[in-house]
Structure 1
Amino acid sequence: MKVRPPIDARRRRCRTGVVALALTALPVIAAADMIRVPGGQTRIGDDASRADERPSFVAAVAAFELDRGPVTVAAFARHVARQHIVTEAERIGSASVMTYGSGRWQLVAGANWRRPLGPDGPAATETHPVTQVSWHDAQAYCTAQGKRLPTEVEFEHAARLAGHGGRHAFGDALRRDGRYRANVWTGAFPALNTGADGYKATSPVGAYGRDGLGFEDLAGNVWEWTADWYAPYGVPAATPAREKAQRGGSFLCDPDVCYGFRVSGRAHATPDSTLMHVGFRCARDPVG
């Protein structure tokens, strides 16, 4: 079973505006560290896995730099304040939320990056990854930082190097010494999330430690937008693409259902979609 969020036909390209913000309580946090990922050749995809991960192929990847962890709520709030941004969900007035138990997605009025589950839900926690941001919002953030979104190939290349050839960026085993190594769905999706990994929704960035390259949450916690248009591998380039690819898996990923936190796992949504389990991190070409 593949659960996909709805596509909101009303959504259009994001525009900026001015909004009054109450951000005086935000902590001073340094800009996210970046890790240099060496270039090389990497096999992309998995011939024994889902249809859109086949056929696998070998890609040449140039060295690049990637944020250590996904962009946090606090970092995004500073960006909003500096750039006077109104995000896509705020402009439209709703965002996509999944109901635990039923697995149904719906557009919730008032849901946005500040309150990812809607006005009746808790405020977003500053140390958690920002969610309910569209691809346009993520792209604008990275551009403002002098960076860009990573490509799918770059993301998978980094994850494979970090996991030393394992199925995940943290290696093969989801648990080590009885402890979970990523924020994923535990229980029976979508009826029951036990929270056995410590969290039933997003977790603080880096709560599960760092992988072999020093990255945080390269697998699990939130899906992350990439620069690329989504298409199954092997589809002719002339085929129109309407959705942007996502990588990394999220707290909604059950190993028995989507298993999206594998190194080759993929998801996708229209670039104006805003979702409770999707965030991003930035990349850039090497500096110096």
Structure 2
Amino acid sequence: MRRIALALLALPLVAGADMIRVPGGQTRIGDDAGRADEKPSFLATVAAFELDRAPVTVSAFARYVAAHGIVTEAERVGSAAVMSFGSGHWRLVDGAYWLRPLGPDGPKAVADHPVTQVSWNDAQAYCAAHGKRLPTEIEFEHAARLAGHGGRHAFGAQLVAARRYRANVWTGAFPAINTAADGYRTTSPVGAFGRDGLGFEDLAGNVWEWSADWYAPYGTGTTATGSEKAMRGGSFLCDPNVCYGFRVSARAHATPDSALMHVGFRCARDLTD
């Protein structure tokens, strides 16, 4: 593993190192016409903050691993979650981790793709080591809504514009058929689908992204504690006719020690001026 990580260190650090300032303001969070956990919608006031332009890449994570001697939770446990294409069943695969996200028999992670098979704990530690933090759910949705000019998607109104896909999502009939009409069956290079209205890459699709928050129904009055952490943004497994997870209000969740083949992260930072 360490030889592979050191080899990746020789690669240039791709998009994801720079950050974008997200202006503060008031945003409606959730969707009263959406899924159950997106209701009831509510108004939230968000302070300006900075957010990574793109998800953390495999090459960036490799640098971090090599510099700090990191062993991720999936490596310590010895397995991580992989979905079986065709059946849609999830299973723990021995030897799956961030450099072999589908397991030892699958392809190596690609340097300019978003890193996956990192737990919430791994992601939080990475952000802290870089003087940053994970974004809150509200911050993520606020940024996505601004990027999409108030629409349902961060990339704009239409998933396909001028015969070109605007995000890496499931194409076909989930989970049996993936046509890869968007060009990819799993993750795609960061920024392959261009930038949105604020300049972000992959704020919708490609991989779900960990947020700082515990997952809880809206309207319960607290998200301070829980058993699972919330995720935002949708992934390459999101079918518009099934979970439709790449909408700005869509949510997912998993325990903070979970490592999954379709989940990554990006970091945020408070403004100091």
**Deviations along 1:146-190, whole A, 9 cap, x unmatched?**
000000000000000000011100111001101100000000000
- Alignment gaps of 5+ in structure 1: 1-18
**Deviations along 1:46-99, whole A, 9 cap, x unmatched?**
000100000000000000000000000000000000110000000000000000
Q: What secondary structure, in the 3-state scheme, does the structure 2 residue paired with 1:131 have?
A: coil
Query: For residue 30 of structure 2, what is the aligned residue in structure 1?
Result: 45
User: Of 57, 63, 83, which aligns to 1:72?
Assistant: 57
Query: For residue 167 of structure 2, what is the aligned residue in structure 1?
Result: 182
Query: For residue 69 of structure 2, what is the aligned residue in structure 1?
Result: 84
Matched letter for residue 261 of structure 1: F
Query: For residue 208 of structure 2, what is the aligned residue in structure 1?
Result: 223
User: Matches of 1:41 and 1:287 in 2, distance apart?
Assistant: 20
**Alignment RMSD (CA, Å):** 1.4
User: Of 176, 190, 195, which aligns to 2:180?
Assistant: 195
Q: Residues 243 and 269 of structure 1 are in contact (CA less than 8 Å); yes or no, is this contact kept in structure 2?
A: yes
Misfit runs of 4+, over 2 Å: 19-22, 235-240
Q: What secondary structure, in the 3-state scheme, does the structure 1 residue paired with 2:7 have?
A: coil
5 Å matches for 1:164-183?
Answer: 164-183=149-168
User: Matches of 1:239 and 1:163 in 2, distance apart?
Assistant: 29
User: Is it true that 1:28 corresponds to 2:31 in the alignment?
Assistant: no
**Deviation of residue 287 (structure 1)?**
4.1
Q: What secondary structure, in the 3-state scheme, does the structure 1 residue paired with 2:242 have?
A: coil
Query: For residue 107 of structure 1, what is the aligned residue in structure 2?
Result: 92
Q: Residues 183 and 220 of structure 1 are in contact (CA less than 8 Å); yes or no, is this contact kept in structure 2?
A: yes
User: Matches of 1:136 and 1:265 in 2, distance apart?
Assistant: 22
TM-score, normalised to structure 1, is: 0.91
With 165-174 and 200-209 compared, the bigger mean Cα shift is at 165-174
Q: Residues 118 and 264 of structure 2 are in contact (CA less than 8 Å); yes or no, is this contact kept in structure 1?
A: yes
**Deviation of residue 237 (structure 1)?**
2.8
Q: Residues 213 and 224 of structure 2 are in contact (CA less than 8 Å); yes or no, is this contact kept in structure 1?
A: no
User: Is it true that 1:121 corresponds to 2:106 in the alignment?
Assistant: yes
Q: What secondary structure, in the 3-state scheme, does the structure 1 residue paired with 2:260 have?
A: coil
The 1:38/1:57 distance shift into structure 2, 3 A limit, reads same
**Deviation of residue 235 (structure 1)?**
2.3
Matched letter for residue 282 of structure 1: C
User: Matches of 2:98 and 2:2 in 1, distance apart?
Assistant: 15
User: Matches of 1:147 and 1:100 in 2, distance apart?
Assistant: 35
The 1:154/1:239 distance shift into structure 2, 3 A limit, reads closer
Matched letter for residue 11 of structure 2: P
Q: What secondary structure, in the 3-state scheme, does the structure 2 residue paired with 1:108 have?
A: strand
Query: For residue 213 of structure 1, what is the aligned residue in structure 2?
Result: 198
User: Of 129, 137, 140, which aligns to 1:144?
Assistant: 129
**Deviations along 1:175-225, whole A, 9 cap, x unmatched?**
110110000000000000000001000000000000000000000000000
**Deviation of residue 274 (structure 1)?**
0.2
**Deviation of residue 28 (structure 1)?**
2.9
User: Matches of 1:65 and 1:231 in 2, distance apart?
Assistant: 25
5 Å matches for 1:203-282?
Answer: 203-237=188-222, 241-282=226-267
- Alignment gaps of 5+ in structure 2: none
**Deviation of residue 240 (structure 1)?**
5.4
User: Matches of 2:7 and 2:84 in 1, distance apart?
Assistant: 33
**Deviation of residue 29 (structure 1)?**
1.8
Q: Residues 21 and 81 of structure 1 are in contact (CA less than 8 Å); yes or no, is this contact kept in structure 2?
A: no
User: Matches of 1:218 and 1:244 in 2, distance apart?
Assistant: 18
**Deviations along 1:218-272, whole A, 9 cap, x unmatched?**
0000000000000011124389510000000000000000000000000000000
**Deviation of residue 277 (structure 1)?**
0.1
User: Matches of 1:170 and 1:248 in 2, distance apart?
Assistant: 11
The 1:235/1:180 distance shift into structure 2, 3 A limit, reads same
